[in-house]
Amino acid sequence: MALKKKKRVQKREELAITSMMDMMTIILVFLLKSYASTEVTVTPSEDMQLPTSSAAKAPELAVQLMVSKTEILVDGVPVLGLTTVQDEENPGEMLIAVPEDEKKGQMITDLYDRLLDKAEQAKALGEASGSEQHAFKGRILLQCDQNLPFSVIREVMYTAGQAQFSEFKFVVYKTE
């Protein structure tokens, strides 16, 4: 009598958890494999689609300049918005451009001020650390949407160049 009762209780306790564990272990291994180890991350959105390239160089940490279809961001902080203008040579088509009142010639003034601040910060940090490795080298990571016209990128590059950033690194998706 006593033995019979005990058996029934044991049966109720059994939950088939082993197969679930198997699945979880496989998922865990897969996720560990795709763990992001680089410091540089992108958040893809409708306005920000990087082009794909066969380049193989891994990104390194630097000032991040993002140019989406609608705005320019430095290290994730928005600096100014972009507008669309009529394409003079192809009437009816719109081109993304930097607003005229935001720039002086080719220089985008707000962006220049922000980048100059970043350059000064990076220089001070480099001097404080005292090591060659952290010295300011004028590196800048450029993330641009694949549909941006070159005229915008040229102005951004020119401005960055004026703010002492001369080593451009264009961030792209790697093709397998």
Closest approach of other proteins to the CB of residue 114, in Å: 18
Going by C-alpha positions, the residue among 160, 141, 150, 154 that lies closest to residue 63 is 141
Distance CA 135, CA 101 (A): 35
Cβ atoms of residues 81 and 70 within 8 Å? yes
Q: Does residue 141 touch other proteins according to CB under 8 A?
A: yes
- The answer to the question of residue 126 lying near other proteins (CB under 8 A) is no
Residues 148 to 167 in contact with other proteins, rule: CB under 8 A: 148-151, 153-154, 157-158, 161-162, 164, 166-167
173 in contact with other proteins (CB under 8 A): yes
Q: Which residue, among 28, 70, 86, 63, has the nearest Cα to 140 in the 3D structure?
A: 63
- From 47, 59, 83, 107, residue interacting with other proteins (rule: CB under 8 A): 59
Residue 74 beta carbon to other proteins: minimum distance, rounded to whole angstroms: 17
CA distance 109 to 153: 15
Site for other proteins contains 121 (CB under 8 A) = no
| Residue 128 to residue 141: CA distance in whole angstroms | 23
Distance CA(126)–CA(134), nearest Å, equals: 5
Minimum CB separation of residue 133 from other proteins in Å reads 18
Task: Name the segment binding other proteins (CB under 8 A); options: 53-61, 70-78, 109-117, 120-128.
Answer: 53-61
In whole angstroms, give the CA distance from residue 169 to residue 139.
7
Binding flag, residue 36, other proteins (CB under 8 A): yes
Place of tokens 């001369």: 166
Phi/psi of residue 120, nearest 5 degrees: -65, -45
- Within 11-30, the residues that bind other proteins by CB under 8 A are 13-14, 17-18, 20-21, 24-25, 27-28
User: Binding residue for other proteins (CB under 8 A) from 45, 53, 121, 129?
Assistant: 53
To the nearest whole angstrom, how small is the minimum distance from the Cβ of residue 125 to other proteins?
A: 19
